[in-house]
Structure 1
């Protein structure tokens, strides 16, 4: 797939409107280029408008926005021709300059059964917009899977998200319904520039296809407004045949990979050249900026004279009910009709002189002010009552009354139900400067509770389903009872908002992921690594065996293991945990997780068990031993997965070749490394029943820890770790990506 890089070459023409004459001059000077494209350049390709910065030809577009206009023959027998614009390999359907969006066509992925060969053949499409300034809009698109018993998912550098489309004979397929029966959909993560499509070919769907003549399953990342599901999509190839196997997808775009402040420093390349245009910085991970016309203007801000004044008065007779509407640059005025004057912004008839000429005017003004104040007070009281009622409804909806009563009866003084106002004060109204982590499931803010100066991490979740709402209060009470030295403490929650907020203790020294992969090759002793592994395993064993009811974590990874001020490991983030799990498997039709840590048995069956946590912990052990990341998408096909590389090395007795050089250089480590590697191998068994329990893993690591020649986190280990972490509070104020640091309760990669 071709990748695009770009810059720009434009000149800013300032224009200041002072007098009517200057308005006429400036507008006439800019008018010739107001059509939306550069003079002499094609304005259309077929039926598609081509506004600048897009263009057909190098002189008609900014670098990276060049389009081709391909001519194609029409339907058979008509002899007609039509033209279509293309951006690289993608057909362009429409372009929106004000919204910074472009609509293109992408390929549909398919998994089809051929009765002649009795085989299923996958076609797994991918799209790559890396380094092009374009990315997939999470607000406008969905991940869609169509078919009978079709399990498919989208994989990017940080996410694996998909769903299972089933066929239930008791529930007939319905037009327009994509909720799991014949069609399912999942949200697209933010800031995705690259993805690959995958099908789970081992999922037993081919039998169903043969019996019911439902031979194909489909997966696509597509515009959600364009999805109009029909039962015929399952029983025929209509969905794939639409537009020759392609569907529309909405892409966001930016002009350059610099901020507005940096871009203005070079006016020869600054793109917002029209008068009355403004520059907007990117609000996501993608760096860059785009331009738009100021309020009261419309048009194309990327060309000279592109932003033209909107005549607000034209066709809008309700703007000035008490006066005459007069359009002004960027707005309008409402002078009174002749014979009227303005009093407090309202046109009133001019009164004839009287004995007391000022009294009527003063009386009218005072009366009007009183009326306005009374109306404002009434509206304010009404809004406050409405807000209070909404808070009470949310509180009851999330099980607040149950939680409050059970806390009272159990005297759970360490767990608190916070008000929205308390958390707003603690986080400076959820200021962007307080953000310490982001993820697909929510945003985490660093806060300081008023009164006791306690630092906390406040997690604002993005969504919660109806089942979670009904069980939220009960689950919070269970999680609040967890008391383990190596598990992040849940201090409380806020229930008077639409989606509850969680309050955790604040952990200042970041995550194990950063300690392993962000230390720039500095030394970390085997003793220190073994202590972290043992403490983490002990915490997970507590969740599985000692918590009441037992808790399945569901997202064990190095970025969910935090390092506290005393350099102890603490397991965090229970966003995907299952409470009250039994020995029976947990089934989920919606699959999500983090690349490299997913239990292969879970991927194949959608059934999560306690042994799924064991597998994920085995990958964490590999990170500690090798200092390599779980997934390397840029490596060769057989070397992308760290677990695959490790198991192959174990089989060939070549583990030493992939170990971290620092621990290989330490004396008397060979026996301990070999035993840790054997333990990791057991955790990574393909079938869950062959893996040890977390209690067995913790006991094994505890025994190895006691057998080390020097005390773990002793002087040597502590000095090594302090050189990596610095002072305990040195990272407390840094804002980090969730791919590197998952601060207290935030799950990266969802």
Structure 2
């Protein structure tokens, strides 16, 4: 049952001597506790008590509601108006209040009145007079406005929030910790027992680690210096200093000295997937420089002392070669035991891949003749225009590359092979590829320009027949393409070995001219072979004839294009390259 009214009271007497102090005794004053939840009160003196006997001695009588702790009784209150007049007759009162007479839960769901606890970090409190708001623990301020409750920085009030260690303020709270090596015991930081033995152990461990690191760094520095000295020695051995001096003296030489690290990065540490091919002098890798330029990097296998001494000079000579049908040498790396060469990258593979690849792919005679002419022009440049002359030494279809337009680009032309000046400079070990080697070179160990002519003759046979220069799987008499060709020429069976794609009645006289040129290149004696320049000129004339078929109708124009006399002389011979009997008969009948 809810009680709505209370009657309370107390009795005060003056029978005993009056004393100043609190109103804890009923002498001169009395007090009664006001119940909680009272919303209205009325104070009065009960008429049943007789005060007429004392009213003259104590004329002042008061009743008031005030905070008990704030009242201090004085005997003067009974005979004067001091109590009434003090502080404008105002007394302190602690009152219980609330926002509305609702609980917190009711206020939150009430749609008619707004919820009062709007600040973050505020709490709702239920009371007898209704709900009210307060800031959460660790916060201070006004919970009735937005952002009214602010975080208390406990670390600034060491009295209210004592911390004997390291104080760190957090949102709504704080942490108190001890320095390393100390523990919190009863609110006080005391020395950690472990610190007595951990300090020397940790110190010794750190010292040991520092010693190991120091020794390792010293070893790495020593090895790096050792490697640097080795690289410098290789650089000097390969003529790097000479190369640098020559490059300074000759302006405009587009040639670079690469470091080993540059080429390792370019080829992904010479990964097997980057291999483009293998040659007699090394392996060729595809690489991409930091600038984005795609290159071909050739790692040579071995090099003798004589070649090491001349390497710098030869690199400079090769760097100055500028011919449209020769792969450009961009630079080299000399700080390794065996030098590495960096060439421009040629995208369409080798001539060997073209003629030995998909046999269903048609390769016209014009295309084959053009590739042969361009290759011969490149070799002629090496033999005649380079100073000193350069002998390729390994002419073969795998060393003739094809660029984006399928233009021939001779590569791998023996960077360390210069035309010898005397017999003492001749090689002592035959180098080259089986099937292309000059028989005279194999007997005399003397590499000459006519050795390249012999090898080029084998390349001509590959273009004519689309067969391998040397076939290990065939019968003994059919292993060497050059031997098969010589036998076919002697037995007048040339048509039997020619490629079907180019063998027809219209092309036969040109094929016989090319075959005759190849036969002359394959002469056993070098002196009987034409020079590579003469070979190139002959191929050029044949190309022009094929491009101008109307020349057959005009013998004089045909003679002009071929550069040969139209009438056989009394000795029965024509020029250096006489046409075959069949071709000559064709010309006679054409007249």
Give the TM-score band, short-chain normalised.
Answer: 0.5 to 0.7
Write the mapping of 1:170-189 to structure 2, written as runs, cut at 5 A.
none
Pairing 1:703–2:534 present: no
Q: Could you say which residue in structure 2 is the equivalent of 1:459?
A: 298
For the 8 Å contact 2:318–2:415, the answer to whether it is kept is no
Residue 31 of structure 1 corresponds to: none
The secondary structure found in structure 1 opposite 2:331 is strand
8 Å Cα contact 2:311-2:416 kept in structure 1: no
2:257 to 389, 400, 417: 417
In 2: Cα distance, 1:491 partner to 1:573 partner: 13
Tell me which residue corresponds to 1:359.
199
CA–CA separation in structure 1 for the residues paired with 2:539 and 2:479 = 28
Change (3 A) 1:588 1:356: same
* Alpha-carbon separation, structure 2, partners of 1:458 and 1:608: 26
Q: How does 1:253-332 map to 2 (within 5 A)?
A: none
- Aligned: 1:594 with 2:445: no
Q: CA–CA distance in 1 between the matches of 2:515 and 2:501?
A: 16
TM-aligned CA deviation for residue 573 of structure 1:
0.7
Q: Alpha-carbon deviation of 1:429?
A: 2.0
Q: Alpha-carbon deviations, 1:148-201, whole Å to 9, x = none?
A: xxxxxxxxxxxxxxxxxxxxxxxxxxxxxxxxxxxxxxxxxxxxxxxxxxxxxx
In structure 2, relative to structure 1, the CA distance for the partners of 1:355 and 1:497 (3 Å cut) is closer
C-alpha distance in 1, partners of 2:544/2:261?
49
Asked whether the equivalents of residues 441 and 461 of structure 1 are also in contact (C-alpha less than 8 Å), the reply is: yes
Which runs of 5 or more residues in structure 1 are unaligned?
A: 1-352, 712-750
- Cα offsets for 1:570-598 (capped at 9, x unmatched): 11113375214359796332123211111
**3-state DSSP of counterpart to 2:386:** coil
CA distance in 2: counterparts of 1:577 and 1:556, whole angstroms: 15
Corresponding residue number in structure 1 for 2:448: 609
Q: What is aligned with 2:44?
A: none
In structure 2, the partner of 1:670 is 508
Contact 2:280 2:432 in 1 (8 A): no
Which one of 273, 284, 305 corresponds to residue 433 of structure 1? 273
Contact 1:525 1:663 in 2 (8 A): yes
Which one of the candidate residues 498, 505, 520 is aligned to 1:682?
520
Residue-by-residue CA offset, 1:394-426 (whole Å, 9 max, x unaligned) = 111211111011111102441100111211221
Once the 2 structures are TM-superposed, how far is the Cα of residue 498 of structure 1 from its aligned partner? 1.3
- 8 Å CA contact 1:628–1:642 kept in 2: the answer is yes
Report if the CA contact (8 A) 2:307-2:416 is conserved.
no
Give the C-alpha shift of residue 520 in structure 1.
Answer: 2.3
Distance 1:562 1:402, change over 3 A: same
* Residue 382 of structure 1, CA deviation: 1.7
CA distance in 2, matches of 1:616, 1:492: 27
The answer to which of 383-392 and 556-565 deviates more is 383-392
CA distance in 1, matches of 2:198, 2:448: 84
Correspondence for 1:661 among 500, 523, 528: 500
Change (3 A) 1:400 1:355: closer
**Cα deviation per residue 1:314-365 (whole Å; 9 max; x = unaligned)?**
xxxxxxxxxxxxxxxxxxxxxxxxxxxxxxxxxxxxxxx9982222112211
TM-score relative to the length of structure 2: 0.58
Deviations 1:529-573 (A, max 9, x none): 000000000111111111111011111111111111121001111
Change (3 A) 1:530 1:354: closer
Aligned length, in residue pairs: 357
Q: What is the CA–CA distance in structure 1 between the aligned matches of 2:429 and 2:246, rounded to whole Å?
A: 32
Q: Distance in 2 between matches of 1:697 and 1:364?
A: 82
Q: Does 1:444 align with 2:284?
A: yes
Alpha carbons of 1:490 and 1:702: their partners in 2 closer, same or farther (altered >3 Å)?
A: same
8 Å contact from structure 2 (residues 314, 415) kept in 1: no
Match runs of 1:188-207 below 5 Å: none
Alpha carbons of 1:704 and 1:376: their partners in 2 closer, same or farther (altered >3 Å)? same
Alignment CA distance shift 1:373-1:569 (3 Å): same
For 1:479 and 1:432, locate their aligned partners in 2 and report how far apart those are by CA, in whole Å.
28
| Counterpart contact for 1:583–1:609, Cα < 8 Å | no
Greater share of residues in strand: 1
User: Residue 379 of structure 1 corresponds to which residue in structure 2?
Assistant: 219
Q: Which residue of 2 aligns with 1:533?
A: 372
Name the structure 2 match of 1:348: none
Instruction: Determine the C-alpha separation between the residues in 1 that align with 2:197 and 2:421.
Output: 87
Contact 1:553 1:574 in 2 (8 A): yes
Unpaired stretches in structure 2, ≥5 consecutive residues:
1-192, 550-591
Is 1:369 the counterpart of 2:209? The answer is: yes
SS of residue in 2 equivalent to 1:677: helix
Mapping for residues 396-415 of structure 1, pairs under 5 Å:
396-415=236-255
| Cα root mean square deviation, aligned | 2.0
2:182 matched residue in structure 1: none
Q: Indicate conservation of the 8 Å contact 2:325/2:375, yes or no.
A: yes
Instruction: State the TM-score, normalized to the length of structure 1.
Output: 0.46
Counterpart position of 1:644 = 483
The question of whether the paired residues in 1 share the 8 Å contact of 2:326 and 2:410 is answered with: yes
CA gap of 1:421–1:636, structure 2 versus 1, over 3 A, is closer
Q: Flag the structure with larger Rg.
A: 2
Secondary structure of 1:437's match? strand
Counterpart CA distance in 1 for 2:386 and 2:236 is: 27
Distance in 1 between the 2:257 and 2:195 partners?
A: 66
Task: Give the conservation status (yes or no) of the 8 Å contact 1:514–1:559.
Answer: yes
Q: Which residue does the alignment assign to 2:189? A: none
